[in-house]
Structure 1
Amino acid sequence: MNAAPRKRRRPVAEINVVPYIDVMLVLLIIFMVTAPLITQGVKVDLPKQTSKPLPPDSHPAAVVSVTKDGTYYLQMGSNRAEQYKDVSELAAVVAAQRKIDPKTPVVIRGDGAVPYAKVVQLMGTLQGAGVDNVGLMTDPPEEKK
């Protein structure tokens, strides 16, 4: 009785990527759900005006936002916006940042419903704190079809 010759199985040198694809899809869904929740900033209805944007190679700007109710917010780069009730306290923080990095541009995001006097007071206080150039942020006008 001769035994039938046994075939030797070769080891399979393939990687099963299905579990990796499953993990990647789960991570994609998690990031898609959490990304809108992470958006930072303050809700401000900017006035509509055509203006020239900051150059792309400029330093990250210090953005001072003024809401309808007159509350001030300061956002430095990608940091979270900090709330300030007093303009002089906000100006002191901006002045300290400008001492660290004098090339940091300062931009004001004023709500369209904010009284003009509030924005002018903010600009004057910032200039008194050593900020010699203050920009105003706007939204582009809607195009007519």
Structure 2
Amino acid sequence: MAVSQSSVFSESARGDAALSQINITPLIDVMLVLLIIFMVISPVVSRSLDAKLPQPSKEAVAPDTRPMQLVAQADGRYRLDGVVHDLGTLGSALVQSAATDPERVLMVSASDDADYQSFANALAAAEDSGVRQIAHGN
């Protein structure tokens, strides 16, 4: 069993060449297993839900979506939707507006020459009256 030197070198050269190629058989096996898993799971995941959506009532009336306008003026008076109030009557007017439509937005703003205290009083009156949605207007 004599082995020549040239055959040993040629064997090792072929072995290196075989190891440098990629063996894709395990990759194909993994891909086929994943494909089978997704084919089994996808019908389970894509089942439908029985949902009952709310139906609109025919007698519902659309609420007034215009916001109420409250403007603090320089003379210490307040204009609520065009009606002039002082600080004492403003609270009752806001309570009445909040009672009729509690979801209506109140836009509070101040005239250009009004001081900050009148604007702060308007905000305090709006919060005390029970208005839920208060915004700052122009």
Greater relative contact order, per chain length (Cα 8 Å cut-off, separation 6+): 1
**TM-score by structure 2 length?**
0.49
Name the structure where helix makes up a greater proportion of residues. 2
**TM-score by structure 1 length?**
0.47
Q: Which has the larger radius of gyration?
A: 2
